Chain A
Amino acid sequence: MGKRLAGIVWALLFLAVPVLGVATFAIAPAFNIWLPKDVSEHGASIDSLFYFILWLTGIVFVATEGLLFWFIWKYDASKRQGAATYIHGSHTLEVVWTIIPAATLLFLAIYQMNAWADVKMRRPAMQPTVEVVGRQFEWRLRYPGRDGTLGTADDLFLVNDLHLPIDEDVLIQLKSMDVLHSFFLPNVRIKQDAVPGMKIPVWFKAREAGEFDIVCAELCGWGHYKMKGRVTFESRAEFDTWLERKYAEQQATQPPVEAADVAQAD
């Protein structure tokens, strides 16, 4: 009897895995512990792929864990009469459970290629909007200035405070000054390592204005956690005005009136 009870406890413990597992995912969005808001154009395809895989794996998860529970429940030695089934396998079953997952995985592999190519392979033909350079431990930014070309005397230099226009393609030239960094925009579904010695293009189109985090997602040393930036998406007009203002500040030859550095600190 005690053995039977123990068997029930263990079976329920294993049942708790799919139940609580699904529950965790189900209630997480209610606590805002879920995909952060997406403001990019391509993000929807990434998110839908995420949900697709989530459903797919979720079903397999519940099915297999459920089956595990059921077997543990049903085939408990303390309640089962007679001998265990003497079987060495089933060729048909092996074929079935090889072919079906194989087909599913292959479908998944082909299905996602387009989304990948959009984000990483189909680079828009344009000059970089801005150069982002990772450095221990900040994001150094360089805008091409009025001539639209990077590497000239009218470049605008800034730190951590990235502004970009919305509703148009932006192309970022990503570099690193020292070690590996990773340019991660959670709200734009963009991540790309910055590698010293390489210029890596990153592009996207933002749909919504607002301020969002830039995170470093590749260990870059003791101050890795400090490498916080901010991206501000704004309309083209606001963006141009901002660029002009920053450029004027960079060209300053007199102290700003009444030390307004603090007040104007964006």
Chain B
Amino acid sequence: MTPPNAATLPAVDHGHTTVTAPGHAPRGGLSHFLSTYVFSKDHKVIGLQFLFSTLLWFLIGGLLALAVRWQVAWPWSDVPVVGKLFAQEGGQMAPEFYTMLFTMHATVMIFLVIIPILAGAFGNFLIPLMIGADDMAFPTLNMLSYWFMWPAFFAFGASFFVEGGAASSGWTSYPPLSTNVASSPGSGWGQTLWLLGLTMVGVSSMLGSVNYMTTIILMRAPGLTMFRLPMTIWAMFITAVLQAFALPVLTAAGFMQLADRMFGTGFFSPEGNIVNNAIAGAGGGQPLLWQHLFWFYSHPAVYIMILPAMGMVSDILTVFARKPLFGYRPMVYSIAGIAGLGFIVWGHHMFMSGMNPALGITFMVSTMMIALPSAVKTFNWLGTLWGGKIQFTTSMLFALSFVSMFIIGGLSGIFMAATPVDIFIHDTYFIVAHFHYVLFAGTAMGVWAAIYFWFPKMFGRTMNEFWGKVHFFLTFIFLNGTFFTMHILGAVGFPRRLADAYHYETFHHLQPLNAFMTWCAIGMVASQIIFAANFIYSMFWGPVAGRNPWNANTLEWTAPSPPGHGNFDYQPVVYRGPYEYSVPGVEKDHLMQTDPPNAVASAAASAAH
């Protein structure tokens, strides 16, 4: 791993920021500590701050899920150990506590884990490194994007302790359940804090999104054209575009709901609406309006939650298949296609909502069509593997499982898109299976692949491969045990969000299956102990990694591991696309984006002689 001699490179003046200064700067002191480690404007530190925060919330979200699963498998039985902390009576979880559990499980996982871990952690860490920039375009904005998460952490966290508990009207927060304060215990302070937290997450995302777009457009290294960008960066770019255009709608809707709750406006409550003998505001509104506004953001948000993972997996697959990405441009176009179509399919969440059924047909057609770019991507991933030399690193295994699981999540989506079938499976466990296959078995597996892959760049050390594979194996087995069975549960019509469905004759016999799923879920969460231990151990005591432990091509691997402030010790110049693996006639099996063409040519020539 020899970085090209800096003297031979064209001098590019990027100002003082590219200079890795010698260590004579003043060290120590509180203000130094705060500015370097806490209120840092360095994109890598911010990225890691996002990573640590989101991983902690991942744990909380996972434990919430376990409590949900416990109730579904063994309704009303004592939750061991922590049961006494719950709102309960005679050892039984209170039903409103259950509604709170799944609401906050989804809220935490979506708004505090998936979105910030993809865009916040990996977006921040990778974008400047992969485009050869020294930092983000707006470092202060970037710092704020992290610190705006903290009010959200506090709002969501505190809501567990207010009277009535945290929000409990589902993460979709449909009115009037969410707007009428009396309609459910969690619709009191819990819901208000939920809306405030959501707004703060939105602000954070928006700050990040503006930054990513600007950085990717303006700060690419010399020679790095848009069509030489790695898929990770393309995905981050399009995700940023999606966020910038979709978020304002959600923010506005959130404020409308807040106004309905606090100032007695009636955007979402019909006239004379009485819940629990309490009248909500002026009325004259329409509950469906919220659904339109909410899903106008939240459907694109589904892609915000998967596209970056798709991008990262594409890169990881090429590295460990030692092959160029199959169909680079179709991959880019299909991401763009998903983003475009993503804005006109929101109504498929509302087929049963009372929306005009004729409108449902148009949404059905657009939804069917959005399956197409996903299919194209899947075929291209398979094409990438074809003829490769696959190395089974932990990271690759997670990336492969992303493809495998995404196929399931993608195909099950077609059932819901078919409106007549959706009549039956809407709001059953079928949809729960679908989005867990996309978001957990898809995105979370992609995130793990990315963590194992970029860990050396983050900390200069590699994670333990053996325990990584054990972690992969257990997670893979248990996740399928938990989520695949949800499909057949959905086929019976087993509804989601029910604290106890077994008093229905139709679902009476499904308890053993649910118990099996809960055991798997417990196993899945327990397997993460291996991951946590491996992560923390490797951070300090793992084997030291060089600059490019995986022999990958993209720019971040030319920087030191971990990169210092300013990232690169020389200005990278890009000569080719990111996927030049196993190029015929070249001695080593990869050509980095920065390898100068003349060096390659001479090497090839000498090889030929």
Binding site for B on A (CB under 8 A): 3, 6-7, 10, 13-14, 17, 20-21, 24-25, 28, 31-36, 45-46, 49-50, 53-54, 56-57, 60-61, 64-65, 67-68, 71-72, 75-77, 80, 83-90, 93-94, 97-98, 101-102, 105-106, 108-109, 112-113, 115-117, 119-121, 136, 177-180, 182, 184, 186-187, 189-198, 200, 212-213, 215-226, 228
Contact = CB atoms under 8 A, between A and B. Distances in A.
A195 B286 CA distance: 9
B21 to A, nearest CB: 41
Interface in B271-316: 271, 273-276, 286-288
Contacts of A191: 352, 423-424, 426-427
B582 A83 contact: yes
A28 B427 contact: no
B464 interface: no
Top-8 shortest CB links A-B? A197-B270, A85-B387, A222-B96, A89-B327, A120-B357, A186-B493, A115-B420, A77-B389
B401 to A, nearest CB: 8
Contact of A86 (B169, B324, B354, B484): B324
Given A25-B488, A225-B501, 5 more contacts: A13-B473, A33-B492, A35-B491, A61-B411, A221-B184
B75 to A, nearest CB: 9
Nearest to B423: A191
B492 A77 contact: no
Given A75-B321, A89-B380, A197-B286, A46 B421 contact: yes
A28 B491 contact: yes
Contact of A228 (B390, B504, B583): B504
A126 B407 CA distance: 46
Contacts of A35: 424, 491-493
B513 interface: yes
Contacts of A97: 375-376, 379
11 contacts: A31-B513, A33-B489, A64-B378, A71-B385, A75-B385, A84-B589, A85-B386, A85-B388, A86-B581, A97-B379, A217-B428
A186 B531 CA distance: 41
Contact of A14 (B271, B275, B325, B400): B400
A219 B387 contact: no
A178 B176 contact: yes
Nearest to B367: A109
Contacts of B579: 88
B487 to A, nearest CB: 7
A198 B288 CA distance: 10
A101 B371 contact: yes
A187 to B, nearest CB: 7
B505 A71 contact: no
B500 interface: yes
A89 B170 CA distance: 44
Given A84-B322, A84-B387, A17 B480 contact: yes
Contacts of A86: 323-324, 581-584
A87 to B, nearest CB: 7
Contacts of A67: 382
B324 A87 contact: yes
A57 B185 contact: no
A222 B185 contact: yes
A67 B358 CA distance: 39
Given A60-B411, A84-B321, A200-B354, A219 B177 contact: yes
A64 B495 CA distance: 30
A33 B488 contact: yes
A24 B492 CA distance: 14
Given A25-B487, A61-B407, A222 B95 contact: yes
